[in-house]
């Protein structure tokens, strides 16, 4: 099942309106983080290391609605933390659906079956289930044995009930391209609508700093994974962003395209870095020194970054900036095979062994947060 035409039309007409209005910096997707606490402790996460008094805080539904209205983006992605741990997540989603926002509720799905009755199927709501590869790879990435099976079970239940479901995959150094391609087969067989991908980013706060990718390695890995695509693979991403990951295109980062709002306010400049906060979206746009960010800026924090939240809005903007960009998008949509003999050879290269699973035991703090529901 592809992305509904109504969503494509909403997004395309929104971007064209921004272009006609001459707006150079416009938001495409609001990254709304209603909480930071989580029921996993993934080695690559930069959110769960906050102290307990921060992890206990939630955005209220009213704060979420105010941010969504201030920003005006047609799509809202709800990461976290684990949004299903928010005590009013049902109310938040209902309010956003009423505002006709296309919502991607990003979840590790551990609580999805338990909480699914809080939601009604809608073309506006998609569960974006975090799965970082096949069983072994995913369980390793989220440091939780059995995490893959629980998530897949929840995906089946959500699909059975008529919800839109996509997957959301972060790939780190050492990901095995062959296994990632087999994972795509598994997800398509499950019946998900599409797959989202991003390379990992080295968060200062993340406990595992060893397994992040440099730009050249990122491009090589995605070239191996995304060339010679199978016909049934569906990606919930701009074709030009996928070409960017494969090293076929370069774009500047446009962090205002996916601004982040959380309990601290509007985060400068992006989802990953924290160089201060603004009280309003207008203040974020006006007071962030945007020239200090992006790969070309020379900022070491941006040097290796190719993440979805920095560059997919750039790719979408390129689609609507020239006839060439539009035609390239049409071509990437209609003819996504990307035949590449060298990429086929790369798939046969020896891969490093998968590291044994290290299960991170929940800390006393995390356990108490879960028990209290705080």
Smallest gap, in angstroms, from Cβ of residue 206 to ligand SF4?
13
**Residue with the shortest CB distance to ligand SF4:** 310
* Residues in binding contact with ligand SF4, number by CB under 6 A: 15
Pick out residues in 270-289 that bind ligand SF4 (CB under 6 A): 270, 272-273
Number of alpha carbons in the 13 Å side-chain half-sphere of residue 169: 29
Closest contact distance (angstroms) between CB of 134 and ligand SF4 is: 27
Q: Which pair of tokens denotes residue 129?
A: 């289930």
Comparison of 163 and 256: residue with beta carbon closer to ligand SF4: 256
DSSP for 321-373 reads T-HHHHHHHHHHHH------HHHHHHHTS--PPPPPP-PPPPPHHHHHHHHHT
How far is residue 372 from each of residues 149, 187, 316, measured CA to CA in Å? 26, 35, 42
Cα–Cα distance for residue pair 306/286, rounded to 1 Å:
24
Task: Tell me whether residue 11 or residue 272 sits nearer to ligand SF4 (CB atom).
Answer: 272
Local structure of 91: helix, strand or coil: helix
Least distance to ligand SF4 from the beta carbon of 139, Å? 28
Beta bridge partners of 338: none
Cβ proximity to ligand SF4: between 139 and 243 the closer is 243
Report the nearest approach of ligand SF4 to the CB of residue 125 (Å): 26
Question: Per-residue x/- marks for ligand SF4, 2-41, CB under 6 A?
Answer: ----------------------------------------
Q: Which of residues 254-273 bind ligand SF4 (CB under 6 A)?
A: 255, 269-270, 272-273
Distance between first and last Cα of the chain: 37
CB 325, CB 210: distance < 8 Å: no
Residue 26 Cβ vs ligand SF4, minimum distance, rounded to whole Å: 16
Per-residue binding string, ligand SF4, 290-329, x by CB under 6 A, is ---xxx-----xx--x-x-xx-------------------
How far is the CA of 33 from the CAs of 88, 151, 152, 325, in angstroms? Answer: 13, 21, 24, 32
Classify 80 as helix, strand or coil: coil
CB of 310 to ligand SF4, least distance (A): 3
5 and 232 Cβ atoms separated by less than 8 Å: no
CB of 332 to ligand SF4, least distance (A): 22
Using the minimum distance from each CB to ligand SF4, give the nearer residue, 25 or 88: 25
What are the residues binding ligand SF4 (CB under 6 A)?
253, 255, 269-270, 272-273, 293-295, 301-302, 305, 307, 309-310
């Amino acid at each position: 099942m592809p992305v509904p035409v109504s969503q494509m039309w909403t997004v395309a007409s929104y971007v064209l309106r921004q272009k006609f209005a001459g707006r150079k910096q416009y938001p495409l997707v609001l990254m709304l983080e209603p909480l930071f606490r989580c029921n996993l402790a993934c080695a690559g996460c930069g959110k769960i290391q906050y102290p307990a008094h921060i992890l206990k805080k939630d955005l209220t539904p009213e704060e979420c609605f105010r941010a969504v209205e201030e920003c005006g983006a047609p799509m809202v992605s709800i990461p976290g933390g684990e949004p299903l741990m928010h005590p009013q997540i049902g109310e938040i989603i209902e309010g956003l659906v009423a505002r006709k926002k296309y919502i991607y509720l990003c979840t590790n799905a551990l609580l999805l079956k338990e909480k699914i009755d809080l939601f009604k199927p809608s073309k506006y709501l998609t569960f974006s289930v975090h799965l970082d590869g096949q069983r072994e790879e995913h369980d390793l990435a989220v440091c939780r044995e059995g995490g893959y099976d629980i998530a897949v079970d929840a995906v089946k239940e959500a699909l059975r009930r008529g919800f839109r479901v996509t997957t959301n995959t972060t790939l780190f150094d050492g990901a095995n391209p062959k296994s990632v391609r087999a994972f795509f087969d598994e997800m398509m067989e499950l019946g998900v609508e599409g797959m989202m991908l991003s390379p990992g980013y080295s968060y200062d706060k993340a406990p595992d700093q060893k397994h992040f990718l440099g730009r050249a390695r990122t491009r090589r890995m995605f070239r191996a994974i995304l060339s010679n695509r199978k016909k049934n693979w569906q990606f919930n991403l701009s074709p030009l962003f996928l070409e960017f990951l494969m090293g076929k295109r370069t774009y500047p980062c446009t962090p205002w395209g996916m601004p982040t709002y959380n309990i601290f306010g509007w985060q400068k400049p992006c989802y990953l870095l924290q160089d201060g906060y603004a009280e309003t979206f207008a203040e974020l746009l006006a007071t962030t020194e945007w020239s200090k960010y992006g790969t070309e800026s020379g900022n070491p924090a941006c040097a290796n970054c190719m993440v979805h939240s920095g560059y997919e809005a750039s790719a979408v903007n390129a689609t609507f900036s020239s006839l060439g960009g539009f035609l390239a998008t049409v071509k990437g949509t209609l003819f996504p095979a990307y035949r590449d003999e060298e990429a086929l050879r790369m798939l046969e290269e020896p891969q490093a062994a998968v590291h044994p699973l290290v299960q991170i035991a929940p800390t006393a703090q995390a356990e108490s947060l879960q028990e209290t529901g705080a």
